[in-house]
Amino acid sequence: MTRTRTDWLAHIVLGLGVILFAFPVWLIFAGATQDAGAINRGDLSLLPRLSHLGIFLSVLRHGAADSKIPVWHMLMISALMALGIAIGKIVISFISAYAVVFFRFPFRRIAFWTIFITLMLPVEVRIIPTYAVMANFGMINSFAGLTVPLIASATATLLFRQVFIAIPDELVEAARMDGAGPIRFLRDILVPVSAANIAALFVILFVYGWNQYLWPLLVATDPRLDTIVIGIVQLIDTGSILTPWNTMMAMSLLAIIPPVVVVVAMQRWFVKGLTEVEK
């Protein structure tokens, strides 16, 4: 009796939660199909105009009215940047954590703490010097300039360090007795054992990379390197022209899709990597 009542209550709360999260997305979807002035006039309908669904395709193929860059290109740049950041971070942090945990070398502690301290210096804090360095290397307006400064970070190194520390010493020793050298151990044991953590980190870092705004805005002025986030924001900044809210909403909706795909595809691994401690 009480059991069913709490079940009902739980479902109602759950339903409300879903509505709360889904409503804005629906609003964007509906808004994208209105005419450009509808939002400015304040009569945004909650019902999409099915006759105007083509806006998604046209934005994707040709971009916003006054821009020459199609949205598919922006999505591609965003995806490449997010992938580059995620993969680059994982590779570098994995290797540096491997060195810090499994090898005894001079200044090991100093090396670790140096990495650790960079936690306190995110891109936003060191943006001017970083820009100067990139400019000196001639990496402004290049894909490398877009990704490399965002790749260096301590968070992933720390995470991998924790994962590696939890690996029993005896597993390392068993591999040594079996004749596995450092590279073999990395490839045959360490990577597979921490696969779930790598996947979880990949999801987090992909979304992090996808959402980057300030750095791409600064380092890449060439429109061909515009990310989707930049593309959306640029629509606001059109001076005397009315902001084309419907186009913006269509682009926003398209911009959500790739991170959602990544999260959904790797969901199982993601949860496993964050919760399960495998021995």
Partner 1 sequence: MASLELRGLAKSFGAQTVLERIDLTLGDGEMVVIVGASGCGKSTLLRLVAGLEHPSAGAVILDGRDVTGRDPAERDIAMVFQNYALYPHMSVFENMAYGLRIRRLPRAEIRKRVDEAAAMLGLEALLSRKPRALSGGQRQRVAMGRAIVREPKLFLFDEPLSNLDAKLRVQMRAEIRRLQRRFGITSLYVTHDQVEAMTLGDRLVVMRAGRAAQVATPMEVFAHPADTYVAGFIGAPAMNFLPARLGAGGGAALPASGPAIPFADGRRPGPEGRGLILGIRPEHVLLDAGGMAFAVDLVEPLGSETLLHGRLADGTGLVVKMAGVAPSGELLRVTLPSAELHVFDAESGRRLAPENAGTGPLAGLVATG
Summarize as ranges the residues that interact with partner 1 (CB under 8 A). Answer: 168, 170-171, 173-181, 184, 188-189, 192-193, 195, 278-279
What is the C-alpha to C-alpha distance for residues 243 and 223, in angstroms, rounded to an integer? 19
If the CB atoms of residues 189 and 233 are measured against partner 1, the closer one turns out to be: 189
Please say which residue, 109 or 279, places its beta carbon nearer to partner 1: 279
Closest contact distance (angstroms) between CB of 168 and partner 1 is: 6
Q: Are 227 and 81 in contact (CB under 8 A)?
A: yes
Residue showing tokens 């260096």: 152
Residue 200 Cβ vs partner 1, minimum distance, rounded to whole Å: 16
- In whole angstroms, give the CA distance from residue 100 to residue 109: 8
The contacts of residue 239 (CB under 8 Å, 6+ apart) are none
Q: Give min distance, CB of 98 to partner 1, in A.
A: 17
- Cβ closer to partner 1: 121 or 195? 195
Interatomic CA distance for residues 50 and 56, integer angstroms:
12
Nearer to partner 1, 175 or 218 (CB): 175
Least Cβ distance, residue 271 to partner 1 (angstroms): 18
Closest CA to 190 of 258, 262, 125, 95: 95
CB of 268 to partner 1, least distance (A): 16
Give the nearest distance from C-beta 107 to partner 1 in angstroms. 20
Q: Is the Cβ of residue 189 or residue 217 nearer to partner 1 in the bound state?
A: 189
Of 20 and 277, which CB lies nearer to partner 1 in the complex structure? 277
CB 224 within 8 A of CB 141: no
Count of other CB atoms within 10 angstroms of residue 114: 11
Phi, psi of 140 (to 5 degrees): -65, 145
- Long-range contacts, stretch 92-96, CB < 8 angstroms, 24+ apart: 92/151, 92/152, 92/156, 92/157, 93/153, 93/155, 93/156, 93/157, 93/159, 93/160, 94/156, 94/160, 94/191, 94/194, 94/198, 96/157
CB of 264 to partner 1, least distance (A): 24
Judged by beta carbon, residue 76 or residue 171, the one nearer partner 1 is 171
